[in-house]
Structure 1
Amino acid sequence: MISTQAREDAQLLWDFQQMHHELRPCSVAVGLGSHDLGVADTAVELYRRGLMPVVVFTGATSPTTRERMPRGEAAHYRERALELGVPDSVILVEPHARNTGENIRFSRALIEGAAIEASSVLLISKPYEERRVYATARKLWPEVEIVSASTPMTFDDYVESIGDARKVIDMLVGSLQRLLIYPGQGFMISLPVPDVVKAAFDRLRDAGFTSRLAAENGDPSP
């Protein structure tokens, strides 16, 4: 059972992660692989709206996706998009990335290798990782304009879709921690984090929502 305080703190972290960018047409979209097929669904919706001519799906597998997506996250995203009517000719697959930094770096290399002129990139991620993905892209791909997007949904709706409130809060805590520690390790730019959000993070961490925390030093984790 999740306490009222934990629920309120999780909502603060959820709201903070939303970038609230105004969506507009971009040169290319990148859908970052994860356990959440909603990323692929949102990419399909945005393609149908004419917001990008090409979409890259990026991602290998991780401990949380290996059973659900045995062929790799990017491959399953592609299959989903094809099922929903997106032409195969507008989909690029990057099947090797195992963390957010690799998602960006490998997708950039794939796009450049395909001779796609990218002045703007629509980054499609899970709702609770918009800010983390944005900060990573601004570090690793600074010359393009970044527009952040995710499936529009509330925290409660996302918890219901996953079916495990503790797991979702653990992921929120892990994502916020990376915003705090990864700039110092050179993995992303530094973005301001309000004190009220830091306090919520501290309370959740101290309450034991720690399964998705990263090591304080070392390679970036998913």
Structure 2
Amino acid sequence: MTLWEYHDMKHRVRPADIAIGLGSHDIGVAVRAVELYEDGTVPRLLFTGANAPTTVKRFPRGEAVHYREHALEHGVPDEVILIETEAGNTAENFEFSRKVLQANGIEVSSAVLISRPYQERRSYATCRKLWPELAITCTSHRPPIDEYVAGIGDADFVISMVVGDTQRITVFAEAGHSIPQEVPAEVRASCERLVAAGYTSRLIS
């Protein structure tokens, strides 16, 4: 799928001061965070996210809370986990995460950003705009797309989310919320075909 590949930043993950797991409906964020802690890539995790209409049923106690619970269940010590439970969008994920780190007296100069697979590019662009001094690499729990869709359980939902994230690459850059990213012609064409096919529920006007 053209859009699926476009959002994969294909970063080589480097050791960093912290992993920041961005809230969403995808428990894969927490799965990937645990992997990075276990293999020594990061010594600390920060999960950020409240709830959105797309996540409240899946994570009723809040995105970051459920991510933390998953990490604890898989052996990550509580003392290396921070959570931020108010953010309602990607910009707030970074803004509020910085405040949590400051409140805890933790200084970081590098981070691994963990998102759902089709949010990597937007996470990168947003962080670059709002936290430019932070050295970042992006990653996600990225099984084959058919396995990912099966795990979420709703193909139309996933396609609509991917279309919405693709639109946001341009719209948010134009609004000054993120740095501009190149959108190749084949990506634009694929997105337009999916919009014409009715995958519009996650578009913003």
Unaligned runs of 5+ in 1: 1-10, 216-222
1:104 pairs, out of 85, 88, 94, with 94
Q: Counterpart in 2 of 1:23? A: 13
Cα distance per residue 1:26-53 (max 9 Å; x no partner): 0111001111111101100110011111
Runs of 4+ in 1 over 6 A off after TM superposition: none
Aligned-partner Cα distance in 1 for 2:159–2:119: 12
Matched, 1:213 2:203: yes
Q: CA RMSD in A?
A: 0.9
Matched, 1:69 2:59: yes
What letter matches 1:99 in structure 2? N
* Residue pairs, 1:69-218, within 5 angstroms: 69-215=59-205
Aligned-partner Cα distance in 1 for 2:153–2:82: 31
Aligned residues: percent identity? Answer: 54
Greater shift, 158-167 or 191-200, is seen at 158-167
Contact 2:142–2:148 under 8 Å retained in 1: no
Aligned residues between the structures = 205
Unaligned runs of 5+ in 2: none
> Displacement of 1:113 after TM fit?
2.4
Aligned-partner Cα distance in 2 for 1:145–1:104: 13
**TM-score normalised by structure 2 residue count:** 0.97
Greater shift, 26-35 or 114-123, is seen at 114-123
**TM-score normalised by structure 1 residue count:** 0.90
Contact 2:126–2:179 under 8 Å retained in 1: yes
